């Protein structure tokens, strides 16, 4: 099967190509051929927006796996974040999908975000794929609007669309807050996070890639939206302890009450920091399990070990 993959130089894209190259003929969208993973044919695209021409990239393709996006960032630099997100994540995505449908592409696999559902859940509750969208930031809004537009294109053209909403993705070469966490743990930094009883879902890269691969050709994936996780939710305290074990550096955690952490984050005008550390975000993957007969191949602890090994290299 001929598969066009956008975002091939990214965290998920490189790992997906390394896995899928054994099963499919891949063409990767890239700004530079030097960024192409080994064995992947290249399609040069300098920018993804409403006017990008995709004719040559789509030629002969059966499936599009769309990973490229303007991603959520902690420190936003754009004066108009929503417009910036929409140009790439909505207009760019729908332009690609419309041209893909005209080119005869059979299926469009879109990696969205759990932020379409929202930012948090009550502990013990979970997001479902069928929940009404409730995004709270520009990134989540843009992903929601892209999903809505893709479903409309599918209805009008007959091209199949499958949507995946991952929570936090981790694994070898992960960056951002997860990398910072591993750096703190490896250095033995005492952390005031020893008394947090929240629950958060996360997904290791290998499990996400496994689900993307299944959605390429599974009959039941058409016209569906799937949530994904490792199947075990952890508190921040549990995650730190088990990540420390994976690193061989036991976590030095101080049991500070979450209320004090939240008060401190308010004082420094970073309330979102306390929400990420103390709040819950759980996803229910029962639909994914039942419709696709899919189960996470890798456990949380095995996933943490792969992330630790990548970090230590």
What would the two tokens of residue 149 be? 């537009």
Judging by beta carbons within 10 Å of its beta carbon (0-12, 13-18, 19+), is residue 38 exposed, middle or buried?
exposed
Which pLDDT score is estimated for 42? 87
Model confidence over 64-90: pLDDT tens digits? 999 999 986 655 566 688 999 999 999
User: 138-155: string of b/e by CB count within 10 Å (b at 16+)?
Assistant: bbbbbbbbbbebbeebbe
Model confidence over 191-214: pLDDT tens digits? 999 999 999 999 999 999 999 999
Which pLDDT score is estimated for 73? 60
**pLDDT of 148 higher than 80:** yes
What would the two tokens of residue 174 be? 């992960």
Model confidence over 150-197: pLDDT tens digits? 999 999 999 999 999 999 999 999 998 999 999 999 999 999 999 999
Return the CATH number of the domain spanning residue range 2-170+203-230+283-297.
Answer: 3.40.50.720
Model confidence over 104-146: pLDDT tens digits? 999 999 999 999 999 999 978 999 999 999 999 999 999 999 9
Which candidate, 304, 212, 218, places its Cα nearest to that of 7?
212
Average pLDDT over every residue of 221-233: 97
What would the two tokens of residue 120 be? 């948090």
d(C-alpha 151, C-alpha 157), whole Å: 10
Q: Which residues contact 53 (CB under 8 A, 6 or more apart)?
A: none
**pLDDT of 286 higher than 90:** yes
Q: Which residues contact 219 (CB under 8 A, 6 or more apart)?
A: none
Model confidence over 254-279: pLDDT tens digits? 999 988 888 877 776 676 777 888 89
Which pLDDT score is estimated for 15? 94
Band (243; pLDDT cuts 50, 70, 90): very high
Given a contact cutoff of 8 angstroms between Cβ atoms, the answer to whether 152 and 166 are in contact is no
Given a contact cutoff of 8 angstroms between Cβ atoms, the answer to whether 93 and 64 are in contact is no
Given a contact cutoff of 8 angstroms between Cβ atoms, the answer to whether 114 and 227 are in contact is yes
This prediction's pTM:
0.94
Q: Which residues are annotated as catalytic? A: 139
Highest mean pLDDT of the ranges 27-36, 43-52, 83-92: 83-92
Q: Which residues contact 14 (CB under 8 A, 6 or more apart)?
A: 8, 37
d(C-alpha 113, C-alpha 144), whole Å: 9
Band (33; pLDDT cuts 50, 70, 90): confident
Which pLDDT score is estimated for 49? 92
């Amino acid at each position: 099967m001929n598969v066009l993959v956008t975002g091939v130089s990214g965290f998920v894209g490189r790992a997906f190509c390394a896995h899928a190259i054994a099963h499919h003929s891949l063409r990767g969208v890239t700004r530079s051929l030097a960024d192409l993973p080994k064995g992947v044919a290249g399609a040069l695209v300098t920018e993804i927006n409403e006017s990008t021409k995709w004719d040559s990239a789509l030629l002969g393709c059966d499936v599009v796996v769309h990973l490229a996006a303007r991603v959520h960032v902690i420190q936003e630099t754009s004066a108009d974040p929503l417009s910036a997100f929409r140009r790439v994540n909505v207009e760019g995505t729908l332009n690609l999908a419309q041209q893909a449908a005209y080119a005869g592409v059979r299926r469009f696999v879109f990696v969205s975000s759990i932020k379409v559902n929202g930012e948090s859940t009550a502990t013990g509750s979970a997001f479902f794929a069928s929940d009404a969208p409730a995004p709270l930031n520009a990134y989540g809004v843009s992903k929601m609007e892209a999903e809505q537009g893709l479903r409309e294109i599918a209805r009008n053209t007959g091209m199949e669309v499958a949507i995946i909403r991952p929570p936090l993705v981790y694994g070898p070469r992960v960056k951002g807050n997860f990398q910072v966490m591993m750096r703190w743990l490896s250095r033995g930094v005492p952390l005031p996070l020893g008394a947090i009883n929240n629950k958060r879902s996360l997904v290791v890269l290998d499990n996400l890639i496994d689900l993307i691969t299944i959605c390429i050709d599974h009959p039941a994936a058409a016209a569906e939206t799937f949530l994904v996780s490792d199947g075990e939710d952890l508190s921040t305290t549990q995650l730190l302890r088990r990540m420390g074990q994976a690193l061989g550096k036991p976590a030095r955690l101080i049991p500070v009450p979450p209320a004090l952490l939240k008060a401190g984050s308010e004082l420094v005008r970073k309330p979102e920091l306390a929400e990420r550390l103390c709040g819950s975000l759980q996803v229910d993957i029962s639909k994914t399990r039942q419709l696709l007969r899919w189960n996470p191949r890798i456990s949380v602890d095995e996933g943490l070990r792969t992330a630790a090994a990548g970090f230590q290299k």
